[in-house]
Amino acid sequence: MIADDELACPLDGLTVADFSRVLAGPLATMTLADLGARVIKIEQPVRGDDTRAWGPPWSAHGSTYFESVNRGKQSIALDLKEPTDLETARRIATRADVVIENFAPGTMDRLGLGHDAIAAANPGSIYCSISGFGSGDGRYLLGYDFIVQAVGGLMSITGATDGEPTKAGVALVDVLTGKDAVIGILAAVVARARTGRGERIEVSLLTSLLGSLVNQGQAGLETGHAARRLGNQHPSIAPYETFRCRDGLIAIACGNDLQFERLAKALGDPPLAADERFGTNADRVAHRPALVQRLQALLDQADVEHWVMILNEAKVPAGKVNSIPEAIAFADALGLDPTIRVGDGWAEQIRHPVRWSTYRTRETTPPPALDRDAAEVRRWLDGHDA
């Protein structure tokens, strides 16, 4: 056991065997690496993780997609169809604190790398399986983020009112699933410290998506009605959307009646808040088209930056619709330190969002070249065998 005062990072001393590929699993294991865990990424020879080939865009080192979720890890290339390599994989898995995989359900069992086999050798093992649709009746369905956004209902509520259902601009379901996997793993680590027992964790893209639908999901359960696409508008709040200013788009979110009163005053139209059609949030939702028309006529008269300054001074939530580079620069200007350096000759990366008062996140290493750390991993295994 390592004393708390010896820990540089929260998860120092934890070893993770990462058999996952693409996004959800690698994001989960990169998060664990950022928090101090040693992550050994097991990849197929020659090709490695699928995302090594996903480009453009490319960096000087390879695929920016792969680089986005694989910093701080060690890589070893093993052919799981070859007996010697498979045995090496078993040794890594049985010595790790955490095993995470996203093969098709049943694949790891057939290889002798499933939960039961690993737990028999290491009862304290925490074993996390990620799938698209679970290990039951959905085990034969291929779980790609785009497909899950479609069948999971997210696309049905995303996009313009009069347009087609639209996917999110990032593989959001994979991201949510990776974060859910980390939550489950960390809970199991805490439980193991108390009981000494390991755990089997399963998380699927579909259940992670459904769990993220929050108010929209509950509304469906309560009313039995399917939500509809509203573009940038909110089904239960108004105004809560984007408006066009003289030179671009602004987002405005009035979460209560007081904020709406402030908005009306800041826009130079105090009587707007006294209009009986807009007196309460429910009234504003019911009369949204008329409200939008009034607000749009006012916002058209000045530039985005003018209104952002005026509205924030009036304590009305508002902001410019930024590009991603603009968003990173905005966070940097606020002192949030949104990026980290991973090594000389490498571009900065988006850092892990959690900040610690006692511990720190790891000074990380760059995403690994395929099989870069094979010799070091084998030395580590030999040390365990000695």
Which residues are tagged catalytic?
A: 174
Kindly give, in sequence order, each residue whose CB lies less than 8 Å from that of residue 349, ignoring residues fewer than 6 positions away: 67, 68, 71, 339, 340, 342
Q: Return d(Cα 170, Cα 175) in angstroms, integer.
A: 9
Q: How far is CA 44 from CA 37, 63, 185, in A?
A: 22, 17, 25
CA angle (22 as vertex; 18, 23 as ends), nearest 5: 90
Q: Please confirm whether the linkage preceding 368 is cis (ω < 30° from 0).
A: no
| CA 168 to centroid of chain Cα atoms | 13
**3-state DSSP assignment of residue 216:** helix
The 10 Å Cβ neighbour count of residue 192 is 18
One-letter amino acid for residue 253 of the chain: A
Q: Residue 293: which of 359, 237, 243 has the closest Cα?
A: 243
Q: How far is CA 22 from CA 28, 47, 91, 359, 375, in A?
A: 11, 13, 24, 29, 24
Residues in the chain: 386
CA angle (118 as vertex; 112, 122 as ends), nearest 5: 155
The 10 Å Cβ neighbour count of residue 382 is 10
Beta bridge partners of 252: 241, 318
Q: Please confirm whether the linkage preceding 57 is cis (ω < 30° from 0).
A: yes
